[in-house]
Homo-oligomer: A and B are copies of this chain.
Amino acid sequence: MIIVGEKINTSRKAIAEAVGKKDAAAIQAVARAQADAGAQYIDVNAGTFLEQEKVLLPWLVETVQEAVDAPLCLDSPAPEALKEAMAVHKGRPLINSISLEKDRYDALLPVVAENPCKVVALCMAQAAMPTTADERIAVGAELIEKLTSAGMALEDIFVDPLVQPVSVDVRMGPAVLAAIAGIAERFPGVGTICGLSNISFGLPARRLINRHFLGLALAHGLSAAICDPTDAELMSALAAVNMMLGRDEYCAEFIDAYEKGLFSKHA
């Protein structure tokens, strides 16, 4: 399971303030905490700054990569901001995200196809948001076909089935889980990725819901999650489920995490 640390996002007040003041130390502390907690990618999102994004996203890339030796998830639909950020990024970033919406697809395809990177392919088409698993798989399949035709490797594509809140419609839970399983089964080599927290939008006890959603998604084949790796209960859920799915020989990672004090005292 690849963990993408979600915390450096200007929709969060503390991050918006740090970015506004170009407070590199504050950003680097959040980056380091996520890497130390197990994030393999650090997400950076400066979307709330609108016009300034194409200056601030590359600033975030340089600032974060000064502090942590990890690739970043460049979280923007804006081609100019992505190009500037990719130009200063060390290693291969994960671009989040392309979709099947025509304007977005046309603008982003050259950006992802002409630069060494991995890409999140969001199951969103021109028309309405997908509701069923089959709709998600159909959009994912079309994106995979187009991206590979444009020269991308299967292994560099992470399909995001688009998590929608169960508070809106309880069928959204089974639909997204079946979409994860369907894409994993139909397209070996392709990754799947979710932002976890949208599942619990509008409900109480959101962290509880999110960590059990992570467990279910893992069991259905999810290969990457955009989440908060500093949430010890989330990470202990990941360790426990990973072990029960037979992916932790001799339970070594689980026991190691326990001994390092990762698990909360409520475990």
Contacts and interface: CB of A to CB of B under 8 A. Distances in A.
A166 B243 contact: yes
Interface in A165-187: 166-167, 170-171, 173-174, 177
A237 B205 CA distance: 11
Contacts of A80: none
A236 interface: yes
A173 B243 contact: yes
A14 B244 CA distance: 31
A200 to B, nearest CB: 9
A197 B73 CA distance: 39
A254 B205 CA distance: 10
B263 A244 contact: no
A188 B245 CA distance: 25
A126 B73 CA distance: 55
A2 interface: no
B208 A251 contact: no
Given A170-B246, A170-B250, A264-B266, 8 more contacts: A166-B246, A170-B248, A173-B243, A212-B241, A213-B240, A215-B215, A216-B219, A219-B220
